[in-house]
Amino acid sequence: MKVRYSLFIWLALVVTACSAPGQDTIESATPTAETPAQAGASPASGSQGAPVDAADDVIFGRNDDGTFFHGAPDAPVTLIDYSDFL
Amino acid sequence: MLGAEPEIVANHVLAGQVKLVYWPMLDLGPNSENAAAAAFCAGEQDPALFWAVHHALFEDQRSVYLAQRDYFIDTAVAQGADGQAFEACYDGDEMRTLLAELDATRRDAGVTQRPTFDLNGQRILGSQPYETFAEVIAIQLP
For A19-58, the pLDDT digits (tens) are 333 322 222 222 223 323 333 333 433 344 444 444 455 6
Residues B104-123 have pLDDT tens digits of 999 999 999 999 999 999 99
Same domain, A61 and A42: yes
- Nearest Cβ partner for B26 among A65, A81, A84: A84
Q: Are residues A21 and A56 in the same domain?
A: no
What percent of chain B has a predicted confidence (pLDDT) above 90? 97
Same domain, A36 and A26: no
Number of A/B CB contacts below 8 angstroms equals: 182
Instruction: Identify whether residues A39 and A49 lie together within a single domain.
Output: yes
Taken as a whole, chain A contains a residue count of: 86
Q: Respond yes or no on whether ipTM tops 0.90.
A: yes
- Average pLDDT taken over every residue of chain B: 96
* A11 shares its domain with A41: no
Angle between helices B69-78 and B30-45 (to 10 degrees): 30
Same domain? A24 vs A40 = no
pLDDT-derived band at A8 (thresholds 50, 70, 90) equals: very low
Q: In chain A, what percentage of residues exceed pLDDT 70?
A: 33
Residues A62 and A81 grouped into a single domain: yes
* Domain range enclosing A3: 1-30
For B22-50, what is each residue's pLDDT tens digit?
999 999 999 999 999 999 999 999 999 99
A47 and A86 share one domain: yes
Asked whether residue A43 falls in the same domain as residue A83, the answer is yes
Helix (H, G, I), strand (E, B) or coil at A65: coil
The per-residue pLDDT for B3 is 85
Domains of chain A: total: 2
- Least CB–CB distance from A73: residue in B19, B26, B28: B19
Residues of B whose CB is below 8 A from A72: 16, 19
Is A81 a residue whose pLDDT tops 60? yes
pLDDT, tens digit, for every residue of A59-76? 999 999 999 999 999 999
Q: Which of 83-112 (B) contact A at CB < 8 A? A: 94-95, 97-98, 101-102, 105-106, 108-109, 111
Q: How far is A3 from chain B (nearest CA, A)?
A: 45
Shared-domain flag, residues A18 and A44: no
The pLDDT, as a whole number, for residue B104 is 98
How high is the pLDDT of residue B96?
Answer: 98
Spatial separation of the C-alpha atoms in residues A19 and B137, rounded to whole Å: 35
Give the model's pLDDT for residue A38.
Answer: 32
Q: Do B137 and A79 touch (CB under 8 A)?
A: yes
Statement to judge: residues A47 and A62 lie in one domain? yes
Task: Give the pLDDT of residue A57.
Answer: 59
Q: Where are the domains of chain B?
A: 5-140
Percent with pLDDT over 90 in chain A: 31
Q: Mark out chain A residues that contact chain B at CB-CB < 8 A.
A: 33, 36-37, 39-44, 47, 49, 52-53, 57-58, 60-63, 65-86
Residue A61 sits in the same domain as residue A85: yes
Asked if B50 is an interface residue toward chain A (Cβ–Cβ < 8 A), one would say: yes
B134 at the A interface (CB within 8 A)? no
pLDDT for residue A79: 98
Mean pLDDT of B94-107: 98
With CB atoms and an 8 Å threshold, state whether A78 touches B64.
Answer: no
Average pLDDT estimate for B127-134: 96
Q: Which CATH superfamily is domain B5-140 in?
A: Glutaredoxin (3.40.30.10)
CA of B8: which chain A residue's CA is closest? A79
Mean pLDDT of B69-82: 98
pLDDT at B1: 67
pLDDT of residue A26: 23
**Touching check for B43 and chain A: CB below 8 Å?**
yes
> In angstroms, what separates the C-alpha of A13 from chain B's closest C-alpha?
32
Q: Looking at the partner chain, which of B31, B95, B119 has a beta carbon nearest the beta carbon of A79?
A: B119
Whether the per-residue pLDDT at A5 is higher than 60: the answer is no
| DSSP per-residue codes, B51-99 | HHHHHHHHHTHHHHHT--HHHHHHHHHHTT--HHHHHHHHHSSHHHHHH
